[in-house]
Structure 1
Amino acid sequence: MPDVQRAQSVRGVRERGRGHLQLVRPAVQGRDRRRRQTEAEGTVKGVARREVRRVAAGVLQAPAEDDVVAEEPLEIRAQGETLAITMRTPGADRELALGFLFAEGVISSRDDVGRVAHCGRPDQEGYGNTIDVVPGPGVSLDIDRLSATRRGTLTTSACGVCGRRSVDDVIARCAPLPVARGAIAPAAILTAVEELRSRQPNFARTGGIHGAAIRDAHGNVLAAFEDIGRHNAVDKVVGALLLSGRIPGPDPALLVVSGRASYEVVQKASAAGVPVIGSVSAASSLAVDLARAAGITLCGFVRNGKMTVYSHPERIR
């Protein structure tokens, strides 16, 4: 779907007003009631309940309730401007916003950020779907870098780089990592990918959410998050490490993701200085090309004691 059509498709969930984006959803009151009821019932954040009809043995069954992954727009703002709107699973929005801005080169460290908070009041409709990043004292964020590489402001849950003017822009920003850094045993990658599922509680409930985790050279999990968008899950783990001061730095050694290894996953790993990526499924051609240019060891089909190494196999020892 073209970017313009995508932007039109979310017009029902957003409306500009008074200098910032007001989120307006169809049947807002009904949805808010369902969300409040869901929260009252103790459902995990990021999961919603919806009525479904199942078919078994060729027979349509009676209506029943089922868990589905939540997907809502998040507007990321800074210095009075809307920088992006991403379709995400609510939760860890602060980490998502900072990870996104870090990968885009708008911020370079935790010191660039003074405050990150949702806009509005909790009793307002749409509260929680707009987040404002306030720069630290004396800091001016490089928001022109972002506007120069995006055609629009909408990023879907399926694509993290759909709005870029040029793929070459991302490649130009990925300085190659030294291959001497980040030697890793195959067993460490296999174990990390295998254990990722245990850190995806909402996947167990819905079957429809991605996961990402970053480990250090000793195998310790530094951060792990879920999101309907794989690139969002990566932004969340990167943002968490940015907040803790581990990025930029030497600690992140391995990024593991559910599903395929896509181009934007490699780009975000490169920005965070992560030398090794392991994914459950295949890698795309652009992901492989970028990993080779960025000095990243990219491993796909990591399962059942096997993997395919697409780039820089010299790190596997």
Structure 2
Amino acid sequence: MHALLPTACEIPVDVYGGIQGAPGQDVVADEVPVAMVYNGISHAVMLASPCDFEDFALGFSLSEGILERPEQLFHLEIMVSEQGISLEMQIAGDCFARLRQQRRNMTGRTGCGLCGTESLAHAIRAIPRVPVQPVPDDEAVQRALHDLRNHQPLQKQTGATHGAAWCDNEGEIQGAREDIGRHNALDKLIGARIRSHGANAFENGFALVSSRASYEMVHKAAVSKMGCLVAVSAPTSLAIREAKRAGLMLVGFARPGRHVLYTLRESSRDGVGYEQ
């Protein structure tokens, strides 16, 4: 975990559970403003865990459609100040021109995915179709779910972070990222996988997130060409509709011993199948 700042801190607390309070220590997750700056222009400020900045910068840029390909990010400099973190990116000229036309301000995206969107016409973006891929079975989902906690050290410490993991079709977790924000955790996972695996980052597997499946989570998964998104909590109706449009298999309420399929792509192991 690459961190320029501590991801957690220990503070004194008073613990109550009886008649009198008792002094103790608690480990608390850190939360800092992280500015996404493109060619000198600040585009968005996120509240995020101070770690995995390279993954965050690339994953956010790709999942938000600012970049179409990772090679369009020419340079990244991580600037630390008393106010927070600035991710200073140099991107391709055509990407920057398109970004300036959008004129969106998304401060505080950990709370809601569309804060600052200028009009209803920009609120729901067109979602791409995902490639037909093999789908995980019940055993794979349960294996990944059981192992997720082992890939969330910050959550173990603080109880305050979300996790996003990429799993193969057998349910083995291939990599994971954490953040206080569910969108941020998924963006960090996207960036990490693409940095290490390139165009094949999301072939033959599924993403597992320790959160609800919102529209934004579905959209980020589809843009990244994931075939399946599994969420520990509930999906929204908009997320389900958009997943169907994308041909994305969407699983919610993934808990020990059960999970719910909201959109299903039936598929054989060779990737041939149909949608429901």
Structure 2-normalised TM-score? 0.86
SS at match of 2:184: helix
> How far does the alpha carbon of each residue in 1:66-95 deviate from its partner, in whole angstroms, 9 at most, with x for none?
111111100111111001100001000111
8 Å CA contact 1:75, 1:86 repeated in 2: yes
Give the 5 Å matches for 1:236-275: 236-247=188-199, 251=203, 253-275=205-227
8 Å CA contact 1:109, 1:247 repeated in 2: no
Of residues 60, 68, 79, the one that matches 2:21 is 60
- Mapped pair 1:86 → 2:46: yes
8 Å CA contact 1:150, 1:163 repeated in 2: no
Shift in alpha-carbon separation, 1:147–1:264, aligned structure 2, 3 A: farther
Of residues 256, 259, 265, the one that matches 1:304 is 256
Give the 5 Å matches for 1:166-177: 169=122, 171-177=124-130
- Identity rate, percent: 31
- Residue of structure 2 in register with 1:131 after alignment: 87
- Structure 2 letter corresponding to 1:56: G
- Mapped pair 1:118 → 2:78: yes
TM-superposed CA distance for 1:45, in Å, is: 3.8
Gaps of 5+ in 2: 270-276
TM-superposed CA distance for 1:153, in Å, is: 4.0
- Residue of structure 1 in register with 2:63 after alignment: 103
TM-superposed CA distance for 1:216, in Å, is: 3.5
TM-superposed CA distance for 1:148, in Å, is: 5.0
Give the 5 Å matches for 1:180-199: 180-199=132-151
| Separation in structure 1 between the aligned mates of residue 123 and residue 204 of structure 2, nearest angstrom | 21
- Residue of structure 2 in register with 1:214 after alignment: 166
Q: Please say which of residues 162-171 and 50-59 is displaced more in the overlay.
A: 162-171
- Residue of structure 1 in register with 2:12 after alignment: 51
Shift in alpha-carbon separation, 1:151–1:108, aligned structure 2, 3 A: closer
8 Å CA contact 1:96, 1:235 repeated in 2: yes
8 Å CA contact 1:171, 1:290 repeated in 2: no
| Separation in structure 1 between the aligned mates of residue 238 and residue 263 of structure 2, nearest angstrom | 12
TM-superposed CA distance for 1:171, in Å, is: 4.7
> How far does the alpha carbon of each residue in 1:171-195 deviate from its partner, in whole angstroms, 9 at most, with x for none?
54311224x4232222112211221
Structure with greater proportional strand content: 2
| Separation in structure 2 between the aligned mates of residue 219 and residue 141 of structure 1, nearest angstrom | 39
TM-superposed CA distance for 1:282, in Å, is: 1.2
TM-superposed CA distance for 1:134, in Å, is: 1.8
TM-superposed CA distance for 1:251, in Å, is: 2.3
- Residue of structure 2 in register with 1:157 after alignment: 110
TM-superposed CA distance for 1:245, in Å, is: 4.1
- Residue of structure 2 in register with 1:18 after alignment: none
- Residue of structure 2 in register with 1:140 after alignment: 93
> How far does the alpha carbon of each residue in 1:149-184 deviate from its partner, in whole angstroms, 9 at most, with x for none?
564241242223333345664654311224x42322
- Residue of structure 2 in register with 1:74 after alignment: 34
Structure 1-normalised TM-score? 0.75
Q: Please say which of residues 89-98 and 165-174 is displaced more in the overlay.
A: 165-174
| Separation in structure 2 between the aligned mates of residue 70 and residue 280 of structure 1, nearest angstrom | 23
Aligned length: 266
SS at match of 2:75: strand
TM-superposed CA distance for 1:220, in Å, is: 4.7
Q: Please say which of residues 216-225 and 45-54 is displaced more in the overlay.
A: 216-225
Gaps of 5+ in 1: 1-38
Shift in alpha-carbon separation, 1:80–1:311, aligned structure 2, 3 A: same
- Residue of structure 1 in register with 2:273 after alignment: none
TM-superposed CA distance for 1:255, in Å, is: 0.6
Shift in alpha-carbon separation, 1:183–1:153, aligned structure 2, 3 A: closer
SS at match of 2:263: coil
| Separation in structure 2 between the aligned mates of residue 208 and residue 238 of structure 1, nearest angstrom | 21
> How far does the alpha carbon of each residue in 1:268-297 deviate from its partner, in whole angstroms, 9 at most, with x for none?
101100011111111111211111111111
- Residue of structure 1 in register with 2:241 after alignment: 289
8 Å CA contact 1:95, 1:240 repeated in 2: yes
| Separation in structure 2 between the aligned mates of residue 250 and residue 125 of structure 1, nearest angstrom | 37
8 Å CA contact 1:72, 1:90 repeated in 2: yes
The root-mean-square deviation of aligned C-alpha atoms, in Å, is 2.6
Q: Please say which of residues 296-305 and 111-120 is displaced more in the overlay.
A: 111-120
